[in-house]
Amino acid sequence: MSSAAAAPPVNRPSLPELFRAFVIVSISGFGGALPWARRMIVEQKGWMTAEEFNEAFALSQFLPGPNVVNFSVVFGSRFGGAPGAAVALAGLMGPPLIIVTVLAVLYARFGDLEALSRILAVITAAATGLLISVVAKMAAPLFQKRWDWAPFVAAAAFIGVAIMQWPLPLVFVALAPVSIGIAWMKR
Amino acid sequence: MNDNPLIALFSYFALLSLFAVGGANAAIPEMHRIAVDVMHWMSDRQFADSFAIAQVSPGPNIIIVTLIGYHVAGFAGAAVATIAMCVPTCILAFFVARTWDRFKDARWRIAIQAGLVPVSLGLIAASAFVLARSADHNVYAGILTATTAVVGFATRTNPLWLFAAGGLIGLSGIF
């Protein structure tokens, strides 16, 4: 992993490119923006390797607050410092802010959500599929490496939250130190 | 409720954002408690509708705070709630990211990073599982989920096409 983290990214985005990329991620991001962020950054632009993306997203996930919003700041600051972070955040939050405000005005006027709930059912079903595909893609580097322990930690986190339905912060607090400890000793 | 509603919005959401480990979905119950039970900003039904609107809109689902803010205090409320939810954690994320990148080759940093990745992945997988359980309430939804998963994994097709096709089927009333 150290070699992958040290390897320079293939390309570097300029500030306008950064802004445009996060606008596209945000307006495509029905039912969650993570799959779209990965598609844009790893698959289309080559700004990060699959492993770098996993690492940056893991960091974003364990900071408090919305994951993808944190990710835009982590990613933007790495490539453009404070202006990069601001530009990525503005690209991510600007368009949905406008769209959702328009929807709020419409809702206040009409307030009928029957069509909306049917659209929602479809979006959620499709977005779930997209999220599953991203989990599979993000898992790939874990199984290629010799970190034999990593898939077991991932499985434990999954079982804790999805099957046992324990609170997420609890699962994290219990599991992260163990996982970090193993990573420390393996190195 | 004697407070200026903008100040109340700002202080609640700024505080909540700093404790919201696990992202938007983890924060929803607490948001509901504040908006409906404590502050009486909106009814249960209005909260549920806001949640639905936020999910239908593109972009991060945390955008529900914009809707709550709009409901409480119009456009100013929408802006204040959104800023309160994003800015404090973003400032934290910015400084953590800079520190993180500075210690790129430190052994502790590499261990923490290597340890966090599988936990993170397990948690994302869990949220996909929880989503699937609530979304796939009939066979058509299950097929759409499975199709999107396979196409998303195996091809470079833009998944929006699947969303659009699914949407047309949904509007036809099968769902």
Asked if the Cβ–Cβ distance from B20 to A65 is below 8 Å, we say: yes
Asked if the Cβ–Cβ distance from A158 to B78 is below 8 Å, we say: no
Residuewise pLDDT in 10s, chain A (187 residues): 344 444 455 578 999 999 999 999 999 988 789 999 999 999 999 999 999 999 999 999 888 888 899 999 999 999 999 999 999 999 999 999 999 988 888 887 776 667 777 777 888 888 899 999 999 999 988 877 665 789 999 999 999 989 998 888 888 889 999 999 999 998 6
B29/chain A closest Cα distance in angstroms: 12
Asked if the Cβ–Cβ distance from B18 to A65 is below 8 Å, we say: yes
CA distance B23 to B29: 12
CA distance A97 to A1: 37
Asked if the Cβ–Cβ distance from B121 to A54 is below 8 Å, we say: yes
Residue-level pLDDT at A56: 94
Residue-level pLDDT at A93: 94
Chain B environment of A172 (Cβ under 8 Å): 21-22, 119, 123
Chain B environment of A134 (Cβ under 8 Å): 124, 152
pLDDT tens per residue across span A132-153: 999 999 998 887 766 578 999 9
- Of the candidates A129, A172, A187, which has its C-beta nearest B21's C-beta? A172
Helix (H) or strand (E) holding B159, with range, is none
The residue among B3, B128, B12 whose CA lies nearest residue B65 is B12
Q: What is the DSSP string of B34-71?
A: IIIIIS--S-HHHHHHHHHHHHHSBS-GGGHHHHHHHH
- Of the candidates A111, A115, A139, which has its C-beta nearest B121's C-beta? A139
Residue-level pLDDT at A142: 81
A27/chain B closest Cα distance in angstroms: 5
Residue-level pLDDT at B1: 47
Residue-level pLDDT at A40: 95
Interface ipTM above 0.90: no
Helix (H, G, I), strand (E, B) or coil at A30: strand
Q: What residue spans of chain A are helical by DSSP H?
A: 2-6, 15-28, 34-38, 50-62, 67-110, 114-144, 150-158, 168-186
Residuewise pLDDT in 10s, chain B (175 residues): 446 899 999 999 999 888 777 677 778 888 898 899 999 999 988 888 888 888 888 888 889 999 999 999 999 999 999 999 999 999 999 999 999 989 988 999 999 999 999 999 998 999 889 888 888 888 888 998 999 999 999 988 888 888 888 777 776 765 5
CA distances from B150 to B21, B146, B157 (A): 30, 6, 11
- Of the candidates A28, A77, A125, which has its C-beta nearest B98's C-beta? A77
Instruction: Mutate one of B120, B127, B160 to test the A interface: name it (highest A CB count within 10 A).
Output: B120
B32/chain A closest Cα distance in angstroms: 16
Hey, what are B12's tokens? Answer: 């609640």
- Residues A78-108: b if buried by 16+ CB within 10 A, e if exposed: bbbeeebbbbbbbbbbbbbbebbbebbeebe
Residue-level pLDDT at B117: 92
Residue-level pLDDT at A81: 94
CA distances from B45 to A45, B36, B50, B56 (A): 42, 10, 9, 17
Residue of B nearest to A26 (CA): B59
Residue-level pLDDT at B19: 78
Chain B environment of A34 (Cβ under 8 Å): 124
Cα angle A68, A112, B54 (rounded to 5 degrees) comes to 5
Q: Give residue limits of the domains in chain B.
A: 1-102
Asked if the Cβ–Cβ distance from A129 to B119 is below 8 Å, we say: no
Chain B environment of A127 (Cβ under 8 Å): 131, 135, 148, 163
A-B Cβ pairs (cutoff 8 Å, strict): 374
Residue-level pLDDT at B173: 64
- Residues A13-50: b if buried by 16+ CB within 10 A, e if exposed: bebebbbebbbbbbbbbbbbbbbbbbbbbbeebebbbb
CA distance A114 to A103: 14
Task: Provide the β-strand partners of residue A30.
Answer: B58
